[in-house]
Amino acid sequence: MNPEPAPPSRGESAELHGFSDFALPEPLMRAIQDLGYQRCTPIQSRVLPLSLADYDITGQAQTGTGKTAAFLITILTHLWEQPRKPGTGQRLPSPRALVLAPTRELAMQIESDGRDLARHTEEKVQCVVGGKDIQKQIERLETRRPNTLIATPGRLIDLLHRGKVDIGAVEILVIDEADRMLDMGFIPDVRRIVFKTPHKHRRQTLFFSATFNDDVMRLAKSWTLTPEHIAVAPEQATVEAIEQLFWLTSQAAKQQLLCDFLKHKQPERALIFSNRRDQTHRLNRWLNRHGVQCEALAGDVPQNKRTRTLERFKEGKVRYLVATDVAGRGIHVEGISHVINYDLPEDAEDYVHRIGRTGRAGASGVSISFVSEDDAFNLPAIEEFLGESVRCTQPDIHGD
């Protein structure tokens, strides 16, 4: 599906910032307008001219840069412009586009975004993930027969083994957050899935990863065909739009400091990060007992409850959420005004991922990190990762 050769200036046009520049299908443009999208993000401006022309892509981009909309717009445009021919009905559900994501939360978020973008078309978008009733997912697949399937690797392998879905006619394959798939041990499953799709000469492959080390590069090379590599500015460049505060405190005083801040400042929507699941639950219970309504999101929370909690947070019914890093990376919610690092993360890169939950889509944001005697050990690595020293100050919950 990849034309040869590509024009020399492909994807470099900095002036392509409006979605109307791409001659997208009218129903898709209506959905984009409904969602309030006006200007493309940098990765959208660079990916769309190539992906809409059927080129394979390897994209280096962090969560929150707009890559999800870029590949969903590509998929929906392809399906609109090249409808399945009459009389080509399949015995099994046979998606034409397949998106692989490492976590349930991310897969469900992609499904939600896909449905928003497909709202004025007849296209059906469905995700299949672990932790949900597989029989209900099979029934929905058989009833809906979606052209676009979003899946976590383990659940898709299960469905393939049961003979409930056929991916032999996939025309567009998206592998999202490949580095996380590698870290989480999913690559053997992903290899088996990719092997069951058409050969890379007969499909378009869009491959995204936040980092491109040697292992990720080998995967990208084996699964794509002469791809165009696109790298947007790393997420740490976007933290300049976020006001970063580091407050000195003692470990024993953290709970009360957090409680006083939330009660006095009443931030519009705050995401509070803790390093451990047990601590997340304890902090959530303590805050609720002391008059701050919040909920917890951690890996041991049942999937159905996690989904409901996320929906309540998105809708503003829950303003404060206490989360671990694993759960927090699945949170893509606009309007988070504050990120609070109750604990400084042990991995410096997680600091940037955390605070990147605020200040999205051009909005301003504030991050507050509590620095106790226990957290201080993690501060030098964060300074090195940011490329600058940070200034620790005394808490000021009464200032502006």
Confidence band, pLDDT 50/70/90 cuts, at residue 236: very low
As a whole number, mean pLDDT of residues 303-324 equals 86
* The predicted structure's pLDDT at residue 12: 43
Q: What is the pLDDT of residue 238?
A: 52
Mean pLDDT along residues 236-260? 85
How many C-beta atoms surround the C-beta of residue 13 within 10 A?
A: 12
206: tokens are: 């869009």
Inform me whether the pLDDT recorded for 237 exceeds 80.
Answer: no
CATH superfamily of 19-233: P-loop containing nucleotide triphosphate hydrolases (3.40.50.300)
In this predicted structure, the answer to whether residue 67 has a pLDDT above a threshold of 50 is yes
Cβ neighbours of residue 254 closer than 8 Å, sequence gap 6 or more: 342, 370, 372
CATH 3.40.50.300: which residues of the chain? 19-233, 236-393
How confident is the prediction for the chain on average, in pLDDT? 87
pLDDT digits (tens, 9 = 90+) for 170-205: 999 999 999 989 888 999 999 999 999 999 999 999
User: What sign does the dihedral 71-72-74-78 (CA atoms) show?
Assistant: positive
Whole-angstrom distance, CA of residue 356 vs CA of residue 232: 15
Q: Among 32-41, 325-334, 343-352, which stretch is predicted with the lowest mean pLDDT?
A: 325-334
Where on the phi/psi map is residue 11: left (φ > 0), alpha (ψ -120 to 50), or beta? left
What is the structure's pLDDT at 362?
59
What integer pLDDT is reported at residue 216 of this predicted model? Answer: 92
Residue 262, amino acid: L
Give the mean model confidence (pLDDT) for residues 346-357. Answer: 82
Residue 58 CB partners (closer than 8 Å, separation 6+): 207, 208, 209, 212, 220, 224, 227, 228, 229, 230
CATH topology for the 236-393 domain: Rossmann fold (3.40.50)
pLDDT at residue 353 tops 90: no
Q: Is 366 left (phi over 0), alpha (psi -120 to 50) or beta?
A: beta
Write the pLDDT tens digit of every residue in 325-344. 766 665 667 788 999 999 99
- Which pTM value belongs to this model? 0.67
pLDDT at 13: 42
